[in-house]
């Protein structure tokens, strides 16, 4: 197996080809250090000049994280508030208003969180980064047209960060570039990070792909008043220090905090303050896509996706440059990629690299959430209370809302049933959602208890989920199907435990793949039906069904439901979980038919099917429209492994339909419950 470095080198080599980048320098940060890095291609097209972790590239908009951190030093010192109107510090901006008369005053927070409402301006700003002071003065005096009212929408603005630079200059009494250097770069030892192109041969040249080759972008623009949005030059090694600086802000803790910017301020920068969009993206050119939510904090972009969770970072793009840094705060790992091609998509390359680490199980453990001592203690006491309920113990543990929410008498009865089924309960594992709320598992994982503490460390909710207790939710709630069932009643058993959980996953997969309107029933297996829309049951019929059902249930042993396979059933358009014809199911089927016949009850739609031909199943979906992608669903079904443990139904119920809401006529335990 390739080493981690080799695997990441392969990722960035692939992206160098895809982006036609002359060169890429990359690095992997873990536990506060640069642990792997390298480069592919060349710093100068056509030359033998391999880039490395000490090669210098212009990092463009990654600069915003430095300018944002410099601003936060002023906030931390009490010299500035994020919600200050910008005009408090730059009076000449007083006239800058949004597009409507009811908009708020433009604030510092609006600027740094990309919600000022100024229009996106990447191409323009990239060519004006060297704007002199008098140029910024003239620009401010001329005013600007807003796309949105401030504080209402995400809109990426480089000019907004030029204005942030002006705010810093007025508050700090120095150029923002000087504050970044003195307050951040020098204390962190980032000696290769500068605002002007440094001398030397280990500096990348900027290129644009043109026809079959590369066009040199010319001498880079200098350092001006818009440079706070994208003027910095740096290296992978220096940026590894920067990434580590932000990773070190987590978790919050009591130990010394002597960095150039307090940990709380670094965490503030990494919080999602303004959402941009919900979209799908494809990290690897040949991989699958997935959904993500993206947005902005303070000088840093935030992404939440279904595989990596929360990641933080920033891209940079200029004529001749494309760069990115991204890290996972909960795992302490990050990647950096710097290229010398115009707008090189290093964000996608870094996400691909993080996915490669995930594929190799090398992202490292998530820090997760630590349960507070109070939650640990409350969990132990809750397990003891449920094992042997005493109202006095409940009063000592529970907040005063718990009794009114659900009377102690009912809670005690439910606890007794729980103990009868599972025995004495003990905390086997505790998972904290926050330090003050979470859930613990007991009874070998068959029981989960959720609890949450209030401000006084009293349990304000105590919810018990027993995997061996069948659902009591309606089986059908969709009116499109309720009308088809009018006049009938059904005797059903429901799966529990792992089979019930797998049913939910399989149902979701089927609904996603069918691509047509469907009714999604609750998990159930029908044992017998009575009546139909053609010959509806009367009230007397329903009462007769319940009485016969009561007598039959008292002598019928529990029914075992054992998944066999997934298939399209009946009319070849209804997806089901086909069940093994277990002896217990066959006995229930035949004995109930005999009891119904002896009681003279109305027949049901399924009675024409002989007992030996009845196929036990759990219906996954009832298509309402045309069958949809049946072939795709069938192909998927053939590859699904259904080796779920058998599920034993300890109770049965009879449900009836009259065209309105489903009605549960009765529920009875089976013999041996």
Contact by Cβ (8 Å): 43, 203: yes
The tally of CA atoms less than 13 A away on the side-chain side of residue 188 is 26
Average the pLDDT over 6-16 and give the result: 96
Q: Which residue has the higher pLDDT, 367 or 75?
A: 75
Predicted local distance difference test score (pLDDT) of residue 221: 87
Residues above pLDDT 70, as percent of the chain: 99
**Which CATH code, of 3.40.50.1100, 3.10.450.280, 3.40.50.2000, 1.10.3470.10, is assigned to 373-466?**
3.10.450.280
pLDDT bracket for residue 435 (50, 70, 90): very high
Instruction: Tell me how far apart the alpha carbons of residues 492 and 472 are, in angstroms, rounded to a whole number.
Output: 12
Question: Alpha helices of 256-364 — where are they, by DSSP H?
Answer: 263-269, 346-359
Question: Residue 557 burial by CB count (10 A; 0-12/13-18/19+): exposed, middle or buried?
Answer: middle
* 180 contacts 231 by C-beta, under 8 angstroms: no
CA gap 622, 525 in Å, rounded: 14
Q: Report yes or no: 503 and 494 within 8 Å, Cβ to Cβ.
A: no
> Which residue has tokens 């999602």?
272
Read off the pLDDT of residues 591-616 as tens digits, 9 standing for 90 and up.
999 999 999 999 998 888 898 889 99
Instruction: State which CATH number among 3.10.20.30, 3.40.710.10, 3.30.70.270, 3.40.50.1220 fits the domain covering 4-359.
Output: 3.40.710.10
Average pLDDT over residues 539-545: 94
Q: How many residues appear in the chain?
A: 673
- Residues 221-264 pLDDT 10s: 889 999 999 999 999 999 999 999 999 999 999 999 988 999 99
Q: Are 592 and 492 in contact (CB under 8 A)?
A: no
Residue 583 CB partners (closer than 8 Å, separation 6+): none
Q: How confident is the model at residue 285 (pLDDT cuts 50, 70, 90)?
A: confident
490: closest CA among 516, 525, 534?
Answer: 525
Which regions of the chain carry the CATH code 3.40.710.10?
Answer: 4-359
Sign of the Cα torsion 229, 230, 231, 237 reads positive
Residue 600 is given by DSSP the state T
Residue 625 has pLDDT above 90, yes or no: no
Using an 8 Å Cβ cutoff, are 66 and 298 in contact?
A: no
Tokens of 323: 């760069």
178-214 per-position pLDDT tens digit = 999 999 999 999 999 999 999 999 999 999 988 888 9
Which of 609, 546, 551, 549 minimizes the C-alpha distance to 581? 609
How does pLDDT run across 357-371, given as a tens digit for each residue? 999 999 998 888 899
Q: Please enumerate in sequence order all residues whose Cβ is within 8 A of that of 592, keeping only pairs 6 or more positions apart, or say none.
A: 491, 527, 528, 552, 556
Percentage of residues of the chain with pLDDT beyond 90: 88
pLDDT of residue 289: 86
Higher pLDDT, 2 or 394: 394
Structure token digits, residue 112: 């740094």
pLDDT of residue 575: 94
> How many beta carbons lie within 10 A of that of residue 656, not counting itself?
23
Q: How far apart are CA 233 and CA 226, in angstroms?
A: 15
Which phi and psi angles does 95 have, rounded to 5°? Answer: -80, -10
The whole-number pLDDT of residue 673 equals 46
pLDDT at position 570: 66
Query: Is pLDDT of 283 > 90?
Result: no
Q: How many CB atoms lie within 10 A of CB 160?
A: 25
Q: How does DSSP classify residue 645?
A: P
Q: Enumerate the CATH 3.10.450.280 domain ranges in the chain, comma separated.
A: 373-466
Structure token pair of residue 563? 């998944």
- Across the range 113-119, mean pLDDT stands at 97
What pLDDT is recorded for position 320? 96
Q: H or E element: which one contains 559?
A: strand 559-561
**Model confidence over 23-39: pLDDT tens digits?**
999 999 999 999 999 99
Nearest CA-CA partner of 337 in 376, 60, 326, 653: 326
CATH architecture, domain defined by 479-669 = Alpha-Beta Complex (3.90)
Residue 213, C-beta contacts closer than 8 angstroms, at least 6 positions apart: 45
What is the pLDDT confidence band of residue 631, given thresholds at 50, 70 and 90?
confident
Pairing of strands 489-493, 651-656: antiparallel
Q: DSSP 3-state assignment of 378?
A: helix
Residue 126 has pLDDT above 50, yes or no: yes
pLDDT of residue 334: 98
Tell me the per-residue pLDDT of 395-416, one tens digit each, with 9 for 90 and over.
999 999 999 999 999 999 999 9
As annotated, the residues of the chain forming the CATH 3.90.1140.10 domain(s) are 479-669
Residue 210 neighbours by CB distance under 10 Å: 11
Q: Is 194 helix (H, G, I), strand (E, B) or coil?
A: strand
Does the structure show a pLDDT above 80 at 556? yes
Residue 571 or residue 333, greater confidence: 333
At 213 the pLDDT is 86
Cα angle vertex 654, ends 653, 657, to 5°? 140
Across the chain, mean pLDDT equals: 94
The predicted pLDDT at position 672 comes to 60
Catalogue the long-range contacts made by 600-603 (C-beta closer than 8 Å, 24 or more residues apart).
Answer: 600/544, 601/530, 601/541, 601/544, 601/545, 601/548, 602/530, 602/531, 602/535, 602/537, 602/541, 603/530
pTM above 0.95, yes or no: no
Residues near 349 by beta carbon (within 8 Å), at least 6 away in sequence = 11, 12, 15, 19, 24, 324, 337
């Amino acid at each position: 197996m390739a080493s981690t470095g080799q695997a990441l080198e392969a990722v960035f080599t692939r992206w160098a080809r895809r982006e036609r980048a002359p060169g890429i320098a990359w690095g992997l940060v873990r536990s506060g250090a640069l642990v792997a890095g390298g480069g592919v291609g060349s710093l100068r097209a056509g030359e033998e000049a391999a880039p490395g972790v000490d090669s210098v590239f212009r990092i463009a908009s990654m600069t915003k994280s430095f300018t944002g951190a410099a601003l936060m030093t002023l906030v931390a010192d009490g010299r500035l508030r994020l919600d200050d109107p910008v005009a408090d510090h730059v009076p000449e901006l007083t006239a800058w208003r949004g597009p409507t008369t009811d908009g708020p005053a433009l604030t510092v927070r609006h600027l740094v969180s990309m919600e000022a409402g100024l229009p996106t301006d990447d191409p323009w700003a990239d060519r004006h980064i060297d704007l002199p002071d008098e140029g910024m003065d003239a620009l401010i005096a001329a005013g600007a047209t807003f796309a949105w009212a401030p504080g209402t929408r995400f809109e990426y603005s480089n000019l907004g960060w030029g204005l942030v630079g002006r705010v810093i200059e007025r508050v700090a009494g120095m150029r923002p570039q000087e504050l970044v250097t003195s307050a951040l770069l020098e204390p962190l030892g980032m000696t290769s990070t500068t605002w002007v192109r440094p001398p030397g041969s280990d500096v990348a040249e900027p290129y644009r792909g043109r026809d079959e080759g590369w066009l040199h972008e010319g001498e880079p623009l200098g350092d001006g008043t818009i440079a706070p949005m994208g003027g910095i030059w740096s290296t992978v090694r220096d940026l590894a220090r920067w990434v580590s600086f932000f990773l070190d802000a987590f978790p919050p803790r009591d130990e010394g905090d002597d960095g150039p910017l307090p940990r709380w301020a670094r965490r503030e920068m990494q919080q999602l303050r303004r959402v941009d969009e919900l979209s799908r993206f494809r990290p690897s050119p040949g991989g699958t896509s997935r959904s993500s939510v993206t947005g902005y904090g303070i000088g840093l972009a935030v992404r939440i996706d279904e595989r990596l969770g929360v990641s933080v970072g920033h891209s940079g793009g200029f004529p001749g440059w494309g760069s990115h840094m991204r890290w996972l705060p909960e795992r302490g790992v990050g990647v950096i990629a710097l290229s010398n091609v115009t707008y090189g998509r290093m964000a996608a390359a870094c996400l691909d690299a993080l996915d490669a680490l995930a594929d190799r199980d090398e992202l490292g453990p998530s820090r997760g959430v630590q349960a507070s001592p109070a939650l640990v203690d409350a969990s132990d006491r809750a397990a003891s209370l449920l094992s042997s309920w005493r109202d006095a113990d409940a009063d000592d543990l529970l907040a005063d809302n718990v009794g009114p929410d659900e009377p102690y008498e009912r809670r005690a009865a439910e606890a007794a049933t729980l103990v009868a089924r599972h025995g004495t309960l003990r905390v086997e594992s505790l998972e904290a959602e926050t330090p003050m709320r979470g859930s613990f598992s007991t009874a070998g994982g068959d029981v989960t208890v959720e609890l949450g503490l209030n401000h006084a460390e009293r349990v304000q909710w105590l919810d018990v989920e027993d995997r061996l207790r069948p659902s009591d939710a309606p089986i059908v709630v969709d009116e499109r199907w309720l009308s088809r069932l009018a006049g009938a009643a059904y005797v059903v058993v429901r799966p529990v435990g792992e089979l019930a959980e797998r049913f939910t996953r399989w149902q979701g997969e089927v609904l996603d793949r069918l691509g047509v309107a469907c009714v999604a029933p609750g998990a159930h297996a029908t044992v017998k039906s009575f009546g139909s829309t053609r010959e509806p049951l009367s009230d007397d019929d329903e009462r007769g069904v319940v009485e016969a059902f009561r007598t039959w249930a008292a002598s019928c042993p529990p029914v075992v439901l054992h998944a066999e396979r997934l298939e399209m059933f009946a009319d070849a358009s209804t997806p089901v979980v086909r069940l093994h014809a277990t002896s217990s199911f066959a006995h229930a089927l035949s004995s109930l038919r005999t009891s119904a016949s002896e009681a003279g009850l109305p027949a049901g739609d399924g009675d024409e099917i002989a007992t030996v031909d009845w196929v036990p199943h759990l219906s996954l979906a009832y298509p309402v429209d045309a069958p949809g992608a049946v072939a795709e669903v069938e192909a998927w079904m053939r590859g699904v492994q259904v080796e779920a443990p058998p599920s034993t139904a300890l109770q049965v119920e009879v449900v009836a339909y009259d065209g309105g809401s489903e009605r549960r006529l009765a529920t009875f335990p089976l013999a041996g419950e």
